[in-house]
Chain A
Amino acid sequence: GAGVSQTPSNKVTEKGKYVELRCDPISGHTALYWYRQSLGQGPEFLIYFQGTGAADDSGLPNDRFFAVRPEGSVSTLKIQRTERGDSAVYLCASSSGGGDNIQYFGAGTRLSVL
């Protein structure tokens, strides 16, 4: 596709449930990032993939959060035992991996944990 695609655009779940958020990066982009944005704040880094491997997962808040990118393209962010504090907009970005380091963002998934 022309841009970064994220699905679903909105997700409402109950506390304790499991959710999966999907990101389809710009075609040919090798680097993929997940960020989380709370109201009134800038995005906060969660995890970065270069190809299939997680190059940096230092931003994941705890072991309830996990992400995969098995074929080096689409990525899934998985959240187990969701808590109300997980409610936020989850943003995915991709970049070509080139020297300009420019990241392009998807529209995000708004997660609401009731």
Chain B
Amino acid sequence: QKEVEQNSGPLSVPEGAIASLNCTYSDRVSQSFFWYRQYSGKSPELIMSIYSNGDKEDGRFTAQLNKASQYVSLLIRDSQPSDSATYLCAVMAGSARQLTFGSGTQLTVLP
């Protein structure tokens, strides 16, 4: 079982819709959670970080964390074609400093 699991996708949503991306993790001592966006052939770019249970909003993006369920999600409101990319969920566990990534979910926003 992979330590960080994501819906493999691809996920397609129409422009203006809400895109919902999900991630589960196996290590209960995980402390820090991140969503990165990666365009094809480019490096990962940080979208959101979240450290405590609940919701965190930044513009059109909302990250949701539920440590009891070992679940973190990313909602993208009013999706735009420019949001089309692979979204990587990353987890930092306990005292470790490295990130453990999921395989990513490919999102396509259709004009």
What residues on B are CB-neighbors of A35 within 8 Å? 99
What are the 9 A-B residue pairs with the smallest beta carbon separation, nearest first?
A42-B101, A45-B98, A105-B43, A101-B32, A105-B44, A107-B43, A43-B101, A42-B88, A42-B103
Q: Is the interface of B mostly helix, strand, loop or mixed?
A: strand
Per the bound structure, the CA–CA distance linking A1 and B82 in Å amounts to: 27
Q: Total interface residues on A, using CB and 8 Å?
A: 24
Min Cβ gap A87→B in Å is: 15
Q: Total interface residues on B, using CB and 8 Å?
A: 22
**A42 near B43 (CB under 8 angstroms)?**
no
Name the residue of chain B whose CB is nearest to the CB of A105: B43
**A56 near B97 (CB under 8 angstroms)?**
yes
**B97 near A102 (CB under 8 angstroms)?**
no
